[in-house]
A and B are shown apart, each in its own frame.
Chain A
Amino acid sequence: MTPHSPGTGQINTLIWIGFFAALIVVVMINLGLFGAVRRFRGGRGRTANATAGAPRLQFRVAGALAGFALVLFVLAVIFTGNALSTPKTTAAGLASLKGEPLVIKATGQQWLWRYDYPNGAFSYWKLVIPVDTEIEMKLESTDVVHTWSVPDLAPKVDAVPGKDVHVIFRADSEGEFSGQAATLSGQAYAPMRTMVEVVSPQRYEEFIVEQQKGIRSGQEDAEKIETEKLQEEEAAEGGEEGEVEKEGPAEENEQPIGEGNEAEEE
């Protein structure tokens, strides 16, 4: 993982702390174990010296272990707390929010993510967010448990039907970050991927306008031509679906599902 948000930076540090703790454990156990085996392996005839474990030694070892555990616990609480502490929108972020987080609703459904922005715009598969802006993502699921995971930007969170779940993060740099659903959700779970495109605030506002225009024209067309409703909807979302085809390695699964769900939304 390459952290691109303050929260994931903290998470990455904690992962490394955990790794070194694990390394200490593995090295100490195996040095002791294989050292003892090397040193004392031998013929059957040798008489062993009986050793008895002194209780005081046991308490000393237990104390050292408890200290180790306590240090890890405190470090983990500190870094987890840091990862959770709300990162505020900076000057480079979306100014129109006036310090409020940008609230986006992510809905998991078999097997696609839908993102609803303020002002009625929405998009499938790909989320576009402004850089340096505090995002509050509300996660919902319409069917089974889906885990939303974009490792470079935010902690992994389960979207569970009937539960209010949210995750707060702030992307630090522009770019595209891929994600992958992380709880088995049925047949097309493996290709249930997502993409977060972090753009400048100006580009984000343009994107919202584009989406709204596309959605509106799509709806008007749909009203006009009732029989061709489904095809028209496809055209309205054409921009995104096209990208899915270009980049998504799993178009054979995503494409028909996306269409089906859009039809249901209407």
Chain B
Amino acid sequence: MNETPRPEIAVDGLPSRGRVGWFQMATSADHKDVAKILMVGSGGFLFIAALELLLMRLQLAIPENTFMEPYTFNRILSLYGATSIFFFALPLVIGLFLYVAPLQVGARGTALPRLSQIGGALWVAGAVVLYAGFLWTPSEAGVNPLPPLSELAFLSNNGVDAWLTACGFATLGFVLIAIDLATTLRVDRAPGMAWRRAPIFAWTAAVGSWLMLFIGPILLAAFTMLMIDRNYGGTFFADGGGGAPILWQHFTWIFYSGAYMLVLIFAFAAVAEIFSVFSRNPIFNRGAVMGSIAAVAVIGTLAYMQNMYTAPIGLGWKYFGMLMSLALIVPIGLIFFNLIATLKDGALWMRAPLLFAVGALAVISLGLAAELQQSLVGAAWYLKNTTDSTAATHFALIGGAVFGGFAALHHWFPKITGRTMGEQLGRISFWTLAIGTLVAFVPMALAGWDDGQVVDAYKFFDHTGVNFLNLLASIGVLILFVGVVLVLVNAVASVKGGARAGHDPWGGDTLEWFTISPPPPHNFDVRPDVTSDRPLRDIRAAIARRAHEAEERAARESQPVA
């Protein structure tokens, strides 16, 4: 029936480990179990975030719509901001790092597993607080709750407190996991795996962990200060009493810029792994990609003042923000160059992971180009806080977390579950997502650029020339929502019903494909010595060599003695 060879279909079967109950899952300190909680949770929150975006776009489909009350819109907006960043993008990225990176470096577990366990539990607690808070008294302070609006004087119910607690718990969880990951990747790499031989994804997990160690505490400090302001009469961000509202912007933009870079470098690293595996080529220049990824994390976070061009800070600081933003052109350009060059002379195997990886680069390129236009100080005095900036951010983060995340999901799904995701549905969902993203955010960018439609507003007015563009954007978000649902359905259905994958369905060169799928609790029976940056390829070559020698020996021995 099936004519084409399907080498990814089972060769070694699933190990029988008995049923893992939810209790065992919840109390496990195994990095794979914690990561699974993060990834499954982030899949659910992606659905919720897409639903929230769809609701907001329904309100904005026609001018002066009365579908939603203004405060309802602000509540959903606040919830959407928290859900999409703290409960979808970052846990997906960190979950994949936590699952894959220790396997890639041949570790038998993480160095400080209880930290990751506590981190995962804190993240779950944050999610519960956010949605319990939404049902009780939601925040109305927006995606980034800027004081003074988020101060007690203007939003006096405890919605903002719940929002801060939820996102604070999640961030603390990420920081704890980052400590575990950074330590593991530092001390627990397989013998012989110097950094120059470490997989790009594992390297990026280390860089990302250090980045989170830097930005996470800054956000936690800001959240704590705002909590003190709101509940204990503090004046950190209040005008008067020595406080300054601008301080909040510095703190939070450092975090948000860093988180943006974390998603970007995650996507670049996932794409690098996938390009390399699916083109049967090594990365064009590993050193350049690894160096550039570290540079993006550092320079991109330093560029945080790019978000403050309209704020009362000195012009010199704005130029500094612009200089850092434009400096990103060099490492990001090098990454794009080397990734595309990896495909050169390759034998591309067009499966869903590669499709999503190519899509991720294309969508990210749109987002980063739009950000490039936004990063010019004078241009931003018009473009900032219009829907053009919303579109730019969404292109980059959807390209990174949705397309990049789904590429990684399709790529490592066989390792995580032992089964591959449905290929046909994967393709359909990819094209649905791609069309949805373009139809949603290109008109949004145009409405911002051409007509100055402002961000975060619960309605727009007739005769401002944006009616059609907004309708189009709403239709696009609907398509995007359908695409997200298709991917999630595919993933859920494939956990039980996917084609069985062997330990190495794609023919990868890194060590996570060395162990069985799904990996046993101790990851590896044998930790191989690593002598190059493609350890599994060396192992395969050694096996082939030995098999060949055995054959020769057998052939020799079977010959009649002369």
- In Å, the complex CA distance between A30 and B130 comes to 39
Which of B142, B146, B279, B377 contacts A76 (CB under 8 A)? B377
* A55 touching B285 in the complex, CB below 8 Å, given contacts A145-B146, A151-B382, A187-B74: yes
* A162 touching B452 in the complex, CB below 8 Å, given contacts A36-B344, A65-B334: no
Cβ A26 vs Cβ B365 within 8 A: yes
- Which residues of A sit under 8 angstroms from B365, Cβ to Cβ? 25-26, 29-30, 33
**Binary contact track A40-69/B, C-beta < 8 Å → 1, others 0:** 111111111111111101100110011011
In the complex, A230 has a CB within 8 A of chain B: no
**Binary contact track B275-312/A, C-beta < 8 Å → 1, others 0:** 00001111111011000000000000000000000111
The distance from the CB of A86 to the nearest CB of chain B, in whole angstroms, is 14
The distance from the CB of B159 to the nearest CB of chain A, in whole angstroms, is 13
- Which residues of A sit under 8 angstroms from B240, Cβ to Cβ? 162
Question: Using a CB-CB cutoff of 8 Å, which residues 172-199 of chain A contact chain B?
Answer: 180-191, 193
Cβ A180 vs Cβ B452 within 8 A: yes
Question: Using a CB-CB cutoff of 8 Å, which residues 209-256 of chain B contact chain A?
Answer: 239-240, 244-246
The distance from the CB of A24 to the nearest CB of chain B, in whole angstroms, is 9
- Which residues of B sit under 8 angstroms from A15, Cβ to Cβ? 373, 376, 379, 382-383, 449
Which of A17, A187, A249 contacts B140 (CB under 8 A)? A187
Which of A90-98, A152-160, A216-224 is found at the contact surface with chain B?
A: A152-160
- In Å, the complex CA distance between A72 and B377 comes to 11
Which of A11, A33, A44 contacts B347 (CB under 8 A)? A44
- Which residues of A sit under 8 angstroms from B373, Cβ to Cβ? 15, 18-19, 21-22
The distance from the CB of B73 to the nearest CB of chain A, in whole angstroms, is 8
Which of B102-110, B459-467, B551-559 is found at the contact surface with chain A?
A: B459-467
- In Å, the complex CA distance between A53 and B319 comes to 34
Which of A21, A53, A162, A183 contacts B338 (CB under 8 A)? A53
The distance from the CB of B495 to the nearest CB of chain A, in whole angstroms, is 26
Using CB atoms, name the residue of chain A closest to B332. A65
Cβ A32 vs Cβ B340 within 8 A: yes
The distance from the CB of A253 to the nearest CB of chain B, in whole angstroms, is 8
Which of B245, B319, B368 contacts A145 (CB under 8 A)? B245
Interface size class of B (residues with CB under 8 A): 35 or more
- In Å, the complex CA distance between A94 and B458 comes to 39
Which of A10, A66, A160, A250 contacts B311 (CB under 8 A)? A160
- Which residues of A sit under 8 angstroms from B452, Cβ to Cβ? 1, 149, 151, 180
Using CB atoms, name the residue of chain A closest to B386. A182
Cβ B282 vs Cβ A80 within 8 A: no
Which of A10, A48, A156 contacts B279 (CB under 8 A)? A48
In the complex, A143 has a CB within 8 A of chain B: yes
Cβ A69 vs Cβ B327 within 8 A: yes
Using CB atoms, name the residue of chain B closest to A188. B70
Cβ B454 vs Cβ A181 within 8 A: yes
In the complex, A147 has a CB within 8 A of chain B: yes
Which of B245, B345, B358, B368 contacts A25 (CB under 8 A)? B368
- Which residues of A sit under 8 angstroms from B454, Cβ to Cβ? 149, 180-182, 190
- In Å, the complex CA distance between A118 and B3 comes to 85
Q: Which 4 A-B residue pairings sit nearest by Cβ, starting from the closest? A: A53-B285, A162-B239, A18-B373, A155-B381
Q: List 28 A-B contacts (CB under 8 A).
A: A11-B382, A14-B379, A15-B449, A17-B379, A18-B379, A22-B370, A23-B369, A37-B343, A40-B345, A41-B350, A44-B349, A50-B281, A51-B341, A52-B282, A61-B333, A70-B326, A76-B322, A76-B326, A79-B376, A145-B148, A149-B385, A157-B310, A160-B246, A161-B245, A163-B312, A183-B456, A184-B456, A186-B74
7 new A-B pairs (CB below 8 Å) besides A21-B369, A184-B141, A184-B455?
A14-B378, A19-B373, A34-B358, A76-B376, A143-B148, A160-B245, A189-B456
Residues of B near any A CB (own CB < 8 A)? 7, 64, 70-71, 74, 77, 140-142, 146, 148-149, 153-154, 239-240, 244-246, 279-285, 287-288, 310-312, 315, 319, 322-323, 326-327, 329-330, 333-334, 336-338, 340-341, 343-350, 358, 361-362, 365-366, 368-370, 372-374, 376-379, 381-386, 449-450, 452, 454-462
